[in-house]
Amino acid sequence: MTDGDEHAGRLAASLRDTLVESLTAPAPHLSAAAWPTLHAAVVCSAPGGDDPDRLLLAVEARLRRRKAAGRRDVPDPRAPALPV
């Protein structure tokens, strides 16, 4: 992990903390019991993560790999039956 990666991770975590802090306090006109619980996560993408075409290509490639991996566990219906 480079210093830039660590810095980006710290910035993303800081943004998450700021948002969580501002969203966890109940609105003034609502009781605390009526305010929902907040669950939050943060993700910091690799270089090129801001390019929608590259992200879509990466997602499609991952889906193809998972589909292919799933097919390895399924017997080929055209294969001859094994003797019992």
Per-residue pLDDT of the chain (84 residues; tens, 9 = 90+): 577 778 877 888 888 888 888 888 888 888 888 888 877 777 666 665 667 777 677 778 877 887 777 766 666 667 776 665
3-state helix, strand, coil in the chain (%, to 5): 55, 0, 45
pLDDT at 3: 73
Per the confidence metrics, is the pTM higher than 0.75? no
pLDDT at 40: 76
Residue 25 DSSP symbol: S
> Which residue ranges make up each domain of the chain?
1-43, 48-74
Helix then strand count (H, E) for the chain reads: 2, 0
**8 Å CB contact between 44 and 8:** yes
pLDDT at 64: 82
